[in-house]
Amino acid sequence: MKDFLSKLGIKHENSGTSTGQEFLKDVTSEKITSYTPSDGSEIATVYETTKSEYEEVVQKSQEAFKEWRMMPAPQRGEIVRQIGEELRKYKEPLGKLVSYEMGKVYQEGLGEVQEMIDICDFAVGQSRMLYGKTMHSERPQHRMYEQWHPLGPVGVISAFNFPVAVYSWNAMIAAICGDTIIWKGSEKTPLCGVAVQNIIGNVLKANDVPEGVFSLITGGREVGEWMTTDERIPLISATGSIRMGKQVAQTVGARLGKTILELGGNNAIIISKDADLEMAVRAVVFGAVGTAGQRCTSTRRLIIHESVFDELKDRLVSIYQSIKIGDPLDEDTLVGPLIDQDAVQAMQNALKQIKEEGGKVITGGEVLENMEGHYVKPAICEVKNHYEIVQEETFAPILYLIKYSSLKEAMEYHNGVKQGLSSAMFTLNMREAETFLSHRGSDCGIANINIGTSGAEIGGAFGGEKETGGGRESGSDAWKAYMRRQTNTINWGDELPLAQGIEFDV
């Protein structure tokens, strides 16, 4: 077994269920085998969570909430601070595991762990800033204010492409708010969940934190449905496809629960005739091929002014033909494998549909049959924005080139999809930049000027509009989603005046 796996406490067989300090293992449980997409070899196995184990996790989470919510928020922040310090110790081996199990290159694996560290730092500060407001009452000798209370157990369902970072965006903020957390990671990357739980468990044990504050469950769709239908879990934060998100929204909404949904992206960059093309090319390449096109913020569509279209296309084709594809743990590799064979097939189906609809594959798209693992060449295609396949999100490195002649036309193309996550424009024209960021510009949750669509910082709220789900995680005031608002009025006088001047004598 590789050295970094043993450092993280990964064994040949691992329990996928934990209440924080303790791992549960039901001998009747099914096993999930984790394979590395780099060469298809088996890494280790993880026991799925059984229904009885799930019940134990939820009960422990409920019990822990009663104690955790009473701890002052800055003290909860201190626990999160220590988790950040523990993650610093394990940054290298955890980054390697993310790369090995998911397939993103090692530098991106390290970056993902750094995001975990950064959100811990952010959450520590936020633990002293869970502010409410005071308002002036219309009634004499009355004081009005609002305060925020924790919700209870929070369910976090994360996806394979960011197997650790997105969990931490939710968990660390929810924790300082006084919530307990139940995490179900992707069944495609179960070892990342086990490793993170081992790291957090070190801190929980050292501080005698009650079992159930940070819990882990493992499994497929059925395990996720246990969470979404469970009235004991008031909030579900789910990251995944639009199809999955609609099911979660309907299920949780039917019981009047709360959701934070981070779903598909069909992200575009507009390249103006006034763009700095050198900067634009670098941003486009990283956004399109980073994580092998498997980021929700990956650049899918490039909307290029007709005057610079051919020049930019030629430069991109030249770069794509020299990109090194291979082992994600090799420091020289820029593009690793897709997650599995289904992802490879989905890409091939998309390329076929592009041709059927009248588009052209300019370069790339081939499956690298001579390499073990799920490797493909990133593709560049010339298309029309209205093509059905362009309207969808294919989770693979396919970049669509679309030509425009006016800013009005570019914005129509840009906003003319059902997803609304991340967006960008490259221009040195102030009027164009301000238009893109105005209410008649980008309709996405994230809009950037002269940087790409990918690579959000934790200080800003992350999320999108339209069928991306409308959720917000991470920075800014995203903490409010993990709490309930309460308005309070105190009468400190000796009379009982009614609002709106109503007279009601008894």
- Residues marked as catalytic: 262
* Among candidate residues 70, 400, 354, 61, the one with its CA nearest the CA of residue 217: 61
CB proximity list for 191: less than 8 A, separation 6 or greater: 5, 10, 14, 34, 43, 44, 46, 97, 101
Distance CA 464, CA 421 (A): 4
Across-strand partners of 486?
147
Q: In this structure, what token pair is assigned to residue 410?
A: 């570019």
Contact 77, 194 (CB under 8 A): no
Contact 450, 274 (CB under 8 A): no
The single-letter code of the amino acid at 293 is G
* Among candidate residues 202, 120, 96, the one with its CA nearest the CA of residue 475: 120
* Among candidate residues 177, 119, 181, the one with its CA nearest the CA of residue 156: 181
Give, as one character, the DSSP assignment of residue 34: E
Q: In this structure, what token pair is assigned to residue 156?
A: 């976090």
CB proximity list for 459: less than 8 A, separation 6 or greater: 122, 474, 475, 476
User: Any idea how long the chain is?
Assistant: 506
Contact 459, 475 (CB under 8 A): yes
Query: What Rg, from alpha-carbon coordinates, does the chain have?
Result: 24
